[in-house]
């Protein structure tokens, strides 16, 4: 009988160890699932950041191109202004459709001078 009791005790101890091991495995599976979900969320965030970064880079390239084009246009206008007379330049700029404020700024005229030249240009167009 003592051998049977010993075997029964061993079986109970082994059953307790197996149950404890099963609880530990279940806890590890839960933690693994949590870590997997966190990793997937981090990957999604990284992908969103990467897409945003690419779009931002593209917009910066486009803005640089526009800025370069405008700088070239201003340089061209300044070269043209330096080569010809002031009234002719103002008339040409107004004919090209530049606003009066832009012409005033480019040609360093007072607002009154530019307005007078604008009216004169309109009169030339009518005539």
> pLDDT band for position 79 (50/70/90)?
low
Per-residue model confidence (pLDDT) at position 82: 52
Q: Where are the domains of the chain?
A: 14-69, 84-127
Per-residue model confidence (pLDDT) at position 72: 85
- Taking only the tens place, the pLDDT of each residue in 6-56 is 888 888 888 899 999 999 999 999 999 999 999 999 999 999 998 888 898
Write down the mean pLDDT value for the chain. Answer: 83
Per-residue model confidence (pLDDT) at position 112: 81
Q: What angle do CA 12, 16, 17 make, to 5 degrees?
A: 120
Per-residue model confidence (pLDDT) at position 86: 66
Give me the mean pLDDT over the 52-61 stretch: 90
48 against 93, higher pLDDT: 48
User: Strands, E, within 28-67: which ranges?
Assistant: none
Residue 44 to residue 117: CA distance in whole angstroms = 61
pLDDT of 78 above 70: no
Give me the mean pLDDT over the 76-85 stretch: 61
Q: Which two tokens stand for residue 43?
A: 């990957």
Taking the whole predicted model, whether its pTM rises above 0.75 is answered as: no
């Amino acid at each position: 009988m003592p051998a049977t009791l010993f075997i029964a005790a061993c079986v109970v101890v082994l059953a307790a160890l197996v149950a404890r091991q099963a609880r530990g495995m279940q806890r590890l599976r839960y933690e693994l699932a949590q870590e997997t979900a966190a990793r997937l969320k981090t990957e999604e965030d990284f992908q969103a950041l990467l897409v945003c970064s690419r779009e931002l880079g593209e917009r910066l390239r486009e803005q640089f191109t526009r800025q370069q084009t405008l700088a070239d246009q201003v340089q061209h206008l300044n070269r043209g202004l330096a080569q010809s007379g002031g009234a002719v330049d103002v008339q040409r700029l107004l004919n090209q459709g530049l606003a009066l404020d832009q012409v005033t700024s480019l040609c360093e005229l007072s607002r009154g001078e530019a307005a007078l030249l604008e009216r004169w240009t309109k009169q030339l167009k009518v005539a």
